[in-house]
Structure 1
Amino acid sequence: MNKKIHLQQLGLKDFKEAWDYQEQLFKEILDLKIRNRRENLNAETPNYLLMVEHPHVYTLGKSGKPEHLLLTEEELEARNAKYYKINRGGDITYHGPGQLVGYPIIDLDNFFTDIHKYLRLLEEVIILSLKEYGLKPERSAGETGVWLDVGTPFARKICALGVRASRWVTMHGFALNVNADLGYFDNIIPCGIRGKAVTSLNMELGVREVPLAEVQVKILKHFEELFEAEFFEKVN
Structure 2
Amino acid sequence: MASAPEEQFSSQLLDAPQHPARNRTVQVQRLGLVEYVPTWQRQEELMDATLAIKSQNRLVETTGAAPVPTPNHLLLCEHPHTYTLGKSGKPEHLLLDEAALSAHEASFHRINRGGDITYHGPGQLVGYPIVDLDNFRPDIHWYLRTLEEAVIRTLAGYGLNAGRITGLTGVWLGWEEGAPNPRKICALGVKCSRWVTLHGFALNVSPDLSYFGHIVPCGITDKAVTSLAQELGSGASVSVADVQERLLPHLLALLGATASEEASS
TM-score (norm 2): 0.86
Give 1:100-179 correspondences, 5 Å limit.
100-150=125-175, 151=177, 152-179=179-206
Q: Which residue of 2 aligns with 1:184?
A: 211
1:133 CA displacement: 0.5
1:58 CA displacement: 0.2
Counterpart residue identity of residue 121, structure 1? T
Q: What is the aligned counterpart of 2:70 among 45, 60, 67?
A: 45
- Match of 1:232, SS state, is strand
The alignment status of 1:14 with 2:41, answered yes or no, reads no
Change (3 A) 1:62 1:209: farther
Q: Deviations over 1:3-25 (max 9, x none)?
A: 00000011111100100000000
1:38 CA displacement: 1.8
Q: Which residue of 2 aligns with 1:85?
A: 110
Determine the C-alpha separation between the residues in 1 that align with 2:42 and 2:159: 35
Q: Which residue of 2 aligns with 1:59?
A: 84
Identity of aligned residues (%): 57
Counterpart residue identity of residue 207, structure 2? A
Give 1:212-227 correspondences, 5 Å limit.
212-227=240-255
Determine the C-alpha separation between the residues in 1 that align with 2:23 and 2:221: 41
TM-score (norm 1): 0.97
Cα RMSD, aligned residues only: 1.1
Determine the C-alpha separation between the residues in 2 that align with 1:209 and 1:31: 44
Task: Number of aligned residue pairs: give it.
Answer: 234
Counterpart residue identity of residue 155, structure 1? P
Determine the C-alpha separation between the residues in 2 that align with 1:226 and 1:39: 31
Q: Do the aligned residues in 1 keep the contact of 2:115 with 2:218 (CA within 8 Å)?
A: yes
Counterpart residue identity of residue 6, structure 1? Q
For structure 1, the 5+ residue unaligned runs are none
Q: Do the aligned residues in 2 keep the contact of 1:51 with 1:103 (CA within 8 Å)?
A: yes
The alignment status of 1:73 with 2:98, answered yes or no, reads yes
The alignment status of 1:198 with 2:219, answered yes or no, reads no
